[in-house]
Chain A
């Protein structure tokens, strides 16, 4: 942390270290955090890990059929924020979330709300492909089976096929559905995980650096897929690659040390950032 502060002092000269201290009041976000047709709305979200605050008063909307990308230097809280959106942070000890996060007007941190159906509506794809050590078929069929989405084997077969097709994996695996999912290549595994997520018909899909463990060709395929998925789902994607954010998303949010610094149309963020931190990041002064 100190080295980061020092570097920034040297390069920009303008940012005082007090500005970057852990417990400063949250900065106001530049740009419009709202959208006309939101699926999820977050207002003043704070996240603590024990005594450490990881997210500070973030407000942000995720619109229908849009891809929202979240960028920022490592440790800026973008992944933490993403994991709040389907309450995956519940599995971490000592994690506390305040503020409001709503999915279609329903506060997902409401006391009575059950994370199980929530997660069926808000799916997640992880940084490292994590197929279950089962067959390809069983990987995709897992979600529908536990939720009882299909009535018989034929329906399940069809659902598995369409999910794999949507994930662009069907042609590659249709002859070996009974082979273990862990035997696929990294890119195929990640698409299998996407197919697995699609199979439970979520409304929002969260992606946590889905391409960081993949080679460029696999990355390109996934990016294309994300663009296609936009037709049916709202997608929030965390990425450490600005190029990727520019390629796949309509809107971009820039996080910095737990603050949401700037939100806007992707084009505008990358061509004409309003906040100096955003500009410094995008021009590669740090990151």
Chain B
């Protein structure tokens, strides 16, 4: 809470610094009539001062907030009685720290509160308070120091505009690097936890094992729960749901794109195209609800009336609804590539006496094929990574089956299941989620890179 106020204070300081810098520049030039003496417009001197007052202070503040918790926890842990900490695994220590933190913030604590823990919690609160005040002092000092520096530097010869502009350019570069940092963050975080996982479970078992039951005993003396992490059933389950969704989305999406761009009357197109695109704007959780409460029971009842044994959470229901979700994705990508096929090719075909469908099937589609394939690959990558529909409509049981009426589970379902329970952060269960996440990330990344390069090459061909 206090950080927000401090943030506002710094912003206010920046506004003040802007005014001060401006006035200072005008004064240094010898009054408002002589601002021609200045290298830049007074505004830039104001911005110069504001940047000096604000940027170092804000950076300091960000750093402080980011590291405060780690340092405080480190201090608290180092002050815990050694007999409490000694012999604790990293996971148990994490639990203990969680308890201290919960106690300090007034939440429910899992273990009983010993005086040591109470003391640690008090210390935690005390340190946090000190840290808060120290942050205020340091940040405000930085702001003042920056302002003072700008004040001293402000004189007519200062190339304020150039300074301000290069500062802005640096900020823009930092902004654009966030994309890289995000990817790096994903790779590092997922990779790091996955490596920890693969120290506990061999990659061979993970990638080729056919048995998935991640129940691990919380205590060593519990029975019958060693946990096994063979991810093959998850992979096959993911593939089956994705395949079903593609069987729905590709024909419908592609054919409707063809119909709307080649056959449909302009009025039909004006209505049908946005209507189909509505499907793309519907949140996935809505599809999940539709799949779980409407489609799955419908398929089960239909199967029962036909004498088939359908699981209440069948792969078919999840795949069908996922396919509906992906229809607009396929159709708008296909629409793009079909429209990119030059009219001259169509004319060439018509001039030979081809009918419209012959032109489409034998000239337009083959010409657009690379683009369509790229689009389908992107759609597959989406199907594989789609989470909510399968979480809500596919099952949890890791069945190794080829029957679409059976219940299967997918990679994304397991990631959610493994991470939404109350687990220690580094139990094999949570780490397994990151290993699955790594697999998912790599597979979708590969698909995306291939698809995007195919689509780009295709575009260049007709540009």
Q: Is residue A109 contacting chain B, with contact meaning CB distance below 8 A?
A: no
Known A-B contacts A143-B352, A146-B354; A128 and B366 likewise in contact (beta carbons under 8 Å): no
Mask of A16-38 contacts with B, CB within 8 angstroms, 1/0: 00000000000000000000000
- In Å, the complex CA distance between A200 and B362 comes to 16
Contacts of B344 on A, CB cut-off 8 Å? 126, 128, 130
Contacts of B366 on A, CB cut-off 8 Å? 132-134
**B352 x A133 contact (CB < 8 A):** no
Contacts of B367 on A, CB cut-off 8 Å? 132-133
Contacts of B349 on A, CB cut-off 8 Å? 132, 142
Q: Is residue A120 contacting chain B, with contact meaning CB distance below 8 A?
A: yes
B348 to A: closest C-beta gap in Å: 4
Q: Is residue B342 contacting chain A, with contact meaning CB distance below 8 A?
A: yes
**A118 x B350 contact (CB < 8 A):** no
**B351 x A116 contact (CB < 8 A):** no
Other-chain contact of B351, A117, A131, A146, A197 (Cβ < 8 Å): A197
B340 to A: closest C-beta gap in Å: 12
**B342 x A116 contact (CB < 8 A):** no
Other than the known A91-B346, A121-B353, what 8 A-B pairs have Cβ atoms closer than 8 Å?
Answer: A91-B350, A119-B353, A123-B352, A130-B344, A132-B367, A142-B354, A142-B362, A146-B362
Known A-B contacts A126-B344, A132-B367; A196 and B353 likewise in contact (beta carbons under 8 Å): no
Contacts of B345 on A, CB cut-off 8 Å? 130, 132-133
A-B contact pairs, 16 of them (CB 8 A): A86-B351, A88-B350, A91-B343, A91-B346, A91-B350, A115-B350, A119-B350, A119-B351, A124-B347, A126-B348, A130-B348, A132-B349, A143-B353, A146-B353, A146-B358, A197-B352
- Residue from B344, B345, B349, B351 whose CB has the most chain A CB atoms within 10 Å: B351
- In Å, the complex CA distance between A250 and B343 comes to 32
Q: Is residue A222 contacting chain B, with contact meaning CB distance below 8 A?
A: no
- In Å, the complex CA distance between A123 and B351 comes to 6
> Which B residues from 309 to 361 make CB contacts under 8 A with A?
342-355, 358
Mask of A238-272 contacts with B, CB within 8 angstroms, 1/0: 00000000000000000000000000000000000
**A88 x B358 contact (CB < 8 A):** no
Q: Is residue B452 contacting chain A, with contact meaning CB distance below 8 A?
A: no
B267 to A: closest C-beta gap in Å: 13
How large, as a class, is the contact surface on chain B?
10 to 19
Other-chain contact of B347, A126, A142, A147 (Cβ < 8 Å): A126
Q: Is residue B196 contacting chain A, with contact meaning CB distance below 8 A?
A: no
Q: Is residue B138 contacting chain A, with contact meaning CB distance below 8 A?
A: no
Q: Is residue A193 contacting chain B, with contact meaning CB distance below 8 A?
A: yes
Mask of A140-173 contacts with B, CB within 8 angstroms, 1/0: 0011001100000000000000000000000000
- Residue from B344, B346, B354, B362 whose CB has the most chain A CB atoms within 10 Å: B354
Q: Which residue of A lies closest to B359 (CB)?
A: A146
A145 to B: closest C-beta gap in Å: 8
Contacts of A121 on B, CB cut-off 8 Å? 353
Contacts of B350 on A, CB cut-off 8 Å? 88, 91, 115, 119
Mask of A50-75 contacts with B, CB within 8 angstroms, 1/0: 00000000000000000000000000
Contacts of A193 on B, CB cut-off 8 Å? 348
B368 to A: closest C-beta gap in Å: 9
> Which B residues from 146 to 164 make CB contacts under 8 A with A?
none
Contacts of A134 on B, CB cut-off 8 Å? 366
A214 to B: closest C-beta gap in Å: 15
- In Å, the complex CA distance between A143 and B352 comes to 6
A237 to B: closest C-beta gap in Å: 15
Contacts of B342 on A, CB cut-off 8 Å? 130
Mask of A170-208 contacts with B, CB within 8 angstroms, 1/0: 000000000000000000000001001100100000000
Number of A-B contacts (CB under 8 A): 69
A114 to B: closest C-beta gap in Å: 9
How large, as a class, is the contact surface on chain A?
20 to 34
Q: Is residue B11 contacting chain A, with contact meaning CB distance below 8 A?
A: no
> Which B residues from 82 to 111 make CB contacts under 8 A with A?
none
Contacts of B348 on A, CB cut-off 8 Å? 126, 130-132, 193, 196
Other-chain contact of B353, A91, A126, A147 (Cβ < 8 Å): A147
Q: Is residue B260 contacting chain A, with contact meaning CB distance below 8 A?
A: no
Q: Which residue of A lies closest to B352 (CB)?
A: A143
- Residue from A120, A146, A197 whose CB has the most chain B CB atoms within 10 Å: A146
A279 to B: closest C-beta gap in Å: 34
Q: Which residue of B lies closest to A200 (CB)?
A: B352
- In Å, the complex CA distance between A45 and B349 comes to 26
Other-chain contact of A117, B343, B353, B358, B362 (Cβ < 8 Å): B353
**B352 x A120 contact (CB < 8 A):** yes
A190 to B: closest C-beta gap in Å: 12
Top 4 A-B residue pairs of the complex, sorted by shortest distance between their CB atoms: A120-B353, A124-B351, A119-B353, A130-B344
Q: Which residue of B lies closest to A121 (CB)?
A: B353
A126 to B: closest C-beta gap in Å: 6
Contacts of B352 on A, CB cut-off 8 Å? 119-120, 123, 142-143, 146, 196-197, 200
Contacts of B346 on A, CB cut-off 8 Å? 91
> Which A residues from 64 to 94 make CB contacts under 8 A with B?
86, 88, 91
Q: Which residue of B lies closest to A182 (CB)?
A: B461
- Residue from B342, B350, B352, B358 whose CB has the most chain A CB atoms within 10 Å: B352
Contacts of B60 on A, CB cut-off 8 Å? none
- In Å, the complex CA distance between A142 and B358 comes to 10
Q: Which residue of B lies closest to A86 (CB)?
A: B351
**A88 x B354 contact (CB < 8 A):** no
- Residue from A91, A115, A118, A193 whose CB has the most chain B CB atoms within 10 Å: A91
Q: Is residue B363 contacting chain A, with contact meaning CB distance below 8 A?
A: yes
B134 to A: closest C-beta gap in Å: 69
Q: Which residue of A lies closest to B462 (CB)?
A: A133
> Which B residues from 35 to 60 make CB contacts under 8 A with A?
none
**B351 x A126 contact (CB < 8 A):** yes
B365 to A: closest C-beta gap in Å: 11
Contacts of B362 on A, CB cut-off 8 Å? 142, 146
**A116 x B354 contact (CB < 8 A):** yes
- In Å, the complex CA distance between A193 and B348 comes to 8
Contacts of A196 on B, CB cut-off 8 Å? 348, 352
- In Å, the complex CA distance between A120 and B255 comes to 27
**B353 x A116 contact (CB < 8 A):** yes
> Which B residues from 287 to 319 make CB contacts under 8 A with A?
none
Contacts of B354 on A, CB cut-off 8 Å? 116, 119, 142-143, 146
Contacts of A88 on B, CB cut-off 8 Å? 347, 350-351
B99 to A: closest C-beta gap in Å: 67
Contacts of B355 on A, CB cut-off 8 Å? 116, 146
A10 to B: closest C-beta gap in Å: 38
